[in-house]
Chains A and B, each alone.
Chain A
Amino acid sequence: MLVMRGIVKQFPGVRALDGVDLDVRAGEVHCLLGQNGAGKSTLIKVLAGVHRPDEGTIEFNGAPVSPGSPNDAIRLGFATIYQELDLVDGLSVAENIFLGHEHARLGFVRRAAGNRGAREVLARLGHPEIRPSAEVGRLSPAAKQVVSMARALSHDARLIIMDEPSAALAHDEVANLFRIIRELTAQGVAVVYISHRLEEIREIGDRVTVLKDGRTVAVGLPARDTPTSQIVSLMTGRNVEYVFPPRASRRPGDEVLRVEDLTSPGAFAGVTLSVRAGEIVGLAGLVGSGRSEILEAVYGARPATGQVVLAGERLRRGGVVRAVRRGMGLAPEERKAQALLLDQSVTANITLGSLPEFARFGWIDRARERAEATRLVEALDIRPPAPERPIKTLSGGNQQKAVLARWLLGGRKLLLLDEPTRGVDVGARADLYAVIRGLAEQGIGVLLVSSEVPEVLGLADRVLVLREGSVIHQGAAEDLDEHRVLDMIMEGRAA
């Protein structure tokens, strides 16, 4: 039904897709597997008409097609259900389902007709209990997902692409999702299903296509019978060159962080870990495994029960301000949204976390501030070496260095790094790795989160593997390899 051949998509600096093949048959659930950065989301966006491929052909029902815009894709019968559901919370169920193609006459919405249409589609999905007039914002995540699917059906979609649809769902809701998927496929609709959870793929999937580094490495494997080890092998061994600095020569010092039985309902439970001075501890796990949420809770930015002890001193609940004052620093996942003042200079961004150090009675000693910032710009080789430039003119890697530089000031004991190389090109990564290792060499404890398993293994001294909010393995990085970690993450089996 859908055949993609040799799809190439080049972004500035990255070849996101480098010859992807995919063929999907009518009425099947076709699973797409691959690590972060393998090209899954780019591939989806090509089908959704968001990106135009640079090379390659797409055939649908035997005829060549090229969706050039989301509208084109919808007209072809492709519907995409993204991980973050794209619903308008303030509108009703029916209004959401028919958003953009309302039942209307002369610009006036025919509400009754819309509601009737919505009721039909929802009934077809086996959810007549969702009222078409209900406000979407008040629905449960599972019900929202049904609405998303109803929208796809309202377009008469022949091919539905689902990006990690189960990530936000509870167990019994997943069962219902699968029931709907089976009904759809029975009607001849094809589903492209993306998930990291192998047990789901085994349950719902018919065939599997595996992506690695923007290429298809296996097409149409039987979903139920292919051994896990074969799938994991196909996904691992990425070609990206990772250059890691050597591990610390000296032994780690005293414990700087001890976390006991930290629990945040819905995110993670019973997490216990420790970080020593000069040690890098890595957290490996999927999106939704609780890895970022643990960092937030340690930092005081997310409510949680349990104990956080920093350098022997128990942190009471008091939030980020206290954590920073006691010597913690966080380089958050979303650099631009959570860390940078884009309009401000590199200097102002570097000193933001330790302003009192440069001030007397609130008066900033600008000469000293500039001198310290200049020193760090040179030490971390931030380019261009111009501390007065607005930080938005720097590349992603250099911006990230500035964020790290922020926490080199003020005598930090513990740094929390969430995806420190996100959006950083390969060349600049090696630099960042060296900087992070350098931080540890200075005696700072580092707690690192990365979705890229090789990065965690290469950079950290010790690794904790997370799955669905629990630590399932803890041990020296040297004793692990990518294959085993992925196996644990996907199968939930402690090694």
Chain B
Amino acid sequence: MSRLGQMRHLGLFVAIGLLVIVGLITKPDNFATTSNVVSMLSLAATIGVITVGATFVIIGGGIDLSVGAIMALASVWATTLATQEFGPFVMAVCAILVGTGAGLVNGLLVAYGRLVPFIATLAMLVAARGLAQRMSDRKTQLIQTGNSAIVELSTTRLLGIPLLVYVFALVVVLGWILLNRTTFGRRTYAVGGNPEAARLAGIDVRRHTMLLYALSGLCCGIAAILIMARTTTGSSTHGDLYELDAIAAVIIGGTLLTGGRGTIIGSILGLLIFTLITNLFILNGLNTSDQLIAKGLIIVVAVLLQRRNLKEIR
């Protein structure tokens, strides 16, 4: 397993290496600067946290389309005047609770309501976005000056790196541990790889499925805090199409959409590839439409390459 994992990640590292070389050649002055790297990481942090949750859901055999909308809802809820009264700590807790709660609803619908994950989370995507619009009256909600502790996550730097990047790193590490070292992680692979076998081995498949979506929602709540820090706002328009970026990163990272196989590291590398492409296009002043075309091609190529790899190993 570990050798297989390394081989699979090798391709991703090569891709990242190539993109870095392209960056160094085309924009030698701007690419390898601290400010550019930091801005890339800050940008990656929000989707990165969501990607960790999405990896769990997808390894567990599901899909979560509602991540961007849940994050937006959490950011709006946490920045309402009523919540802001209680200070930055309560705002953060609020974002996390709203995210987890919405994820829990997804989980209940999928696990106990027997809705297909695609449909349940699609409904949540639409509904959460609508609720966010209603709560904010479609206005962008600024974080008040008294609550700037949240914003400091993005402005305060430790060793030159904003705090929110550390939050991202912490989520990745905790996610890795949860997936690779705990019964929860082992069961996630089992439930996604062969739900019937998991059930007959005495695993409560439905409960576990529910928890997976709640975990994804929790990650959306954390991501909401990070985006509030970066933009100093809560808004119903935050996180538009994040679900596609997150799912794409997970797939490029080698996680099977059918479940049962995948890694956190792969997903994060997949995300970094996407972030690098965005960055290179912006630095070189290229069209954002071309950027989307490039991303689409990368998804297809990555999956084709992985399929060949898997065959060789088998």
Contacts and interface: CB of A to CB of B under 8 A. Distances in A.
Interface of A: 299, 301, 320-321, 323-325, 330, 332, 337-345, 348, 352-353, 355-356, 359, 362-364, 366, 388, 390, 406
Contacts of B203: 321, 352
Which residue among A352, A356, A362 has the maximum number of chain B CB atoms within 10 Å of its CB?
A352
Contacts of A337: 194, 196-197
B201 A301 contact: no
B25 interface: no
B183 A362 contact: yes
B261 interface: yes
B1 A338 contact: no
A355 B200 contact: no
13 contacts: A324-B201, A332-B200, A337-B194, A337-B196, A338-B197, A339-B201, A341-B193, A341-B197, A343-B193, A348-B186, A352-B201, A362-B184, A364-B183
A388 B201 contact: no
A345 B190 CA distance: 12
A343 B260 CA distance: 8
Given A338-B194, A343-B193, A406-B201, 17 more contacts: A301-B199, A301-B200, A324-B201, A330-B200, A338-B200, A341-B194, A343-B260, A343-B261, A344-B189, A348-B186, A353-B201, A353-B202, A355-B187, A362-B184, A364-B186, A388-B1, A390-B1
Contacts, number: 72
Contact of B196 (A338, A356, A359, A366): A338
Contacts of A344: 189-190, 193
A270 to B, nearest CB: 26
Nearest to B182: A362
A203 B61 CA distance: 50
Contacts of A332: 200
Interface in B184-221: 184, 186-187, 189-190, 193-194, 196-204
A406 B194 CA distance: 16
B181 interface: yes
A301 B197 CA distance: 12
Nearest to A359: B183
Interface of B: 1, 181-184, 186-187, 189-190, 193-194, 196-204, 260-261
A316 to B, nearest CB: 16
Given A321-B203, A341-B193, A363 B181 contact: yes
A337 B190 CA distance: 12
B194 A342 contact: yes
Contact of A340 (B189, B194, B199, B204): B194
Given A345-B1, A362-B183, A320 B202 contact: yes
Contacts of A355: 183, 186-187
B51 to A, nearest CB: 22
Contacts of B187: 355
Given A341-B194, A341-B260, A344-B189, A363 B182 contact: yes
A345 B181 CA distance: 15
A321 B203 CA distance: 6
A320 B199 contact: yes
Contacts of A301: 199-200
Given A355-B183, A355-B187, A362-B184, A339 B200 contact: yes
Nearest 10 pairs of A and B residues by beta carbon: A324-B202, A353-B201, A362-B182, A355-B183, A352-B201, A341-B193, A359-B183, A321-B204, A338-B196, A362-B183
B197 A339 contact: yes
Which residue among B184, B202, B204, B261 has the maximum number of chain A CB atoms within 10 Å of its CB?
B202
Contact of B198 (A342, A345, A352, A356): A352
A340 B197 contact: yes
A330 B197 CA distance: 10
A82 B148 CA distance: 71
B256 to A, nearest CB: 9
Nearest to A356: B183
Nearest to B207: A321
Contact of A352 (B181, B182, B190, B261): B190
